[in-house]
């Protein structure tokens, strides 16, 4: 839904001539509003349904939802800011004869290596690749390029990259529409074949390091059902509840790790790599721990733990 909104908004902007990088930010903001509204709406309906089943009061649930949404804004915002700052790099680059224009706009100033530079944001320029640069107005030359941490090799962001490609591609009229239409027709074919197109599409653009764990969870579920000789497990089954706890624990663990990584690395004592370097850096150890977690999930999914009202 978010991608469809971005495509529609950017098409409208392109038709009326709003193609500068300012309107790229506006299009992204509109897409963010739609995305957050859909996510919050889905969470609200699920929460109210659960509250009805357990006898909760809707008014207090709505207050809790508001507090949760506002809290997540600050927590996620600070976490992403820390991660982005920790991995942001400034690379030396020389691009001469650069003039500030509508496609290479000034975004303020910055002090770097004892000198003052203008910060330029390039979008759709024929002479300067898209990106963020440090510009010397006296020499009319770009001396450095700022590479943001989010979206880099350290912290890849496939969804954000996809949105950036859509927005910039439409506004600069360089989007490969053949590939976009080809993907749309593949989705139609998958739906006609009875395949869930959304799951297929998500698995197509997410890296294998992310989708492999989802696939492993599906394999564990299939094995548990085969071993128990039962059909589809209910949403309140032991395996589903345990998996939900793993998801919540993984999120909290990721948040704690993000705070550590976001701090200055030279001030952190890495206990694992310092005292147990072979174990902390071993892929085999990580694989064994993951397999152990899968085994625990398998036996929990097979159990018939009663659910107390």
Q: Is the pLDDT of residue 133 over 90?
A: yes
Helix residue spans in 17-126 (DSSP H): 21-54, 58-87
The per-residue pLDDT for 30 is 92
Residue-wise pLDDT for 93-123, tens only, equals 999 988 888 778 888 888 888 889 999 988 7
pTM here? 0.64
CB 34 within 8 A of CB 2: yes
Q: How far apart are the first and last CA of the chain?
A: 37
Q: 152 φ, ψ to 5°?
A: -90, -175
Residue-wise pLDDT for 204-263, tens only, equals 777 787 788 888 888 888 888 888 776 666 666 777 788 888 888 887 887 777 666 665
The per-residue pLDDT for 101 is 83
The per-residue pLDDT for 266 is 45
In the predicted model, what is the mean pLDDT of residues 27-47? 86
Among 130-134, 148-152, 160-164, the range of highest mean pLDDT: 130-134
The per-residue pLDDT for 263 is 59
Query: Which residue would you say has higher pLDDT here, 202 or 165?
Result: 165
Residue of 214, 248, 247, 229 lying closest to 304 (CA atoms)? 229
CB 24 within 8 A of CB 103: no
In the predicted model, what is the mean pLDDT of residues 64-91? 85
| Partners of residue 142 on adjacent β-strands | 95, 135
Q: 127 φ, ψ to 5°?
A: -110, -25
- Please give the structure tokens belonging to residue 302: 């097979």
Mean pLDDT of the chain: 81
DSSP 3-state of 93: strand
Q: Is the pLDDT of residue 134 over 90?
A: yes
- Please give the structure tokens belonging to residue 1: 């839904």
What is the residue-wise DSSP string for 117-184?
A: EEEEEESS-SSS-SEEEEEETTTTEEEEEEE-SBTSSSB--HHHHHHHHHHHHHHTT---HHHHHHHH
The per-residue pLDDT for 304 is 61
Rounded-to-integer distance, Cα 62 and Cα 60, Å = 5
Residue-wise pLDDT for 44-63, tens only, equals 888 888 888 888 888 888 88
The per-residue pLDDT for 161 is 80
Percent of the chain clearing pLDDT 90 (strictly above): 6
């Amino acid at each position: 839904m978010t991608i469809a909104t971005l495509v529609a908004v950017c098409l409208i902007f392109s038709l009326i001539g709003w193609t500068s990088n300012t309107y790229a930010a506006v299009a992204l903001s509109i897409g963010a509003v739609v995305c957050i509204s859909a996510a919050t709406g889905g969470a609200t309906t699920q929460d109210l349904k659960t509250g009805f089943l357990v006898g909760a009061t809707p008014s207090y649930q709505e207050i809790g939802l508001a507090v949760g949404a506002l809290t997540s804004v600050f927590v996620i915002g600070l976490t992403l800011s820390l991660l982005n700052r920790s991995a942001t790099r400034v690379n030396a680059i020389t691009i001469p004869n650069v003039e500030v224009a509508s496609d290479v706009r000034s975004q303020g100033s910055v002090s770097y290596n004892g000198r003052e530079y203008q910060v330029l944001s390039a979008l759709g320029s024929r002479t300067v690749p898209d990106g963020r640069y440090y510009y010397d107005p006296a020499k009319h030359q770009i001396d450095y390029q700022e590479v943001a941490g989010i979206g880099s090799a350290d912290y890849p962001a496939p969804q954000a990259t996809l949105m950036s490609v859509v927005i910039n591609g439409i506004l600069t009229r360089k989007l490969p529409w053949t590939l976009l239409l080809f993907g749309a027709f593949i989705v139609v074919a998958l739906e006609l074949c009875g395949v869930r197109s959304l799951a297929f599409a998500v698995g197509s653009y997410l890296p294998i390091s992310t989708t492999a764990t989802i696939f492993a969870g599906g394999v564990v579920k299939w094995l548990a059902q085969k071993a128990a000789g039962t059909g589809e497990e209910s949403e309140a089954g032991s395996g589903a509840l345990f998996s939900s706890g793993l998801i919540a624990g993984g999120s909290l663990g990721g948040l704690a790790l993000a705070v550590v990584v976001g701090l200055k690395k030279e001030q952190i004592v890495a206990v694992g790599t310092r005292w147990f370097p072979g174990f902390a850096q071993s892929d085999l150890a990580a694989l064994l721990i993951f397999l152990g977690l899968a085994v625990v999930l398998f036996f929990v999914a097979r159990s018939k733990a009663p659910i107390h009202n």
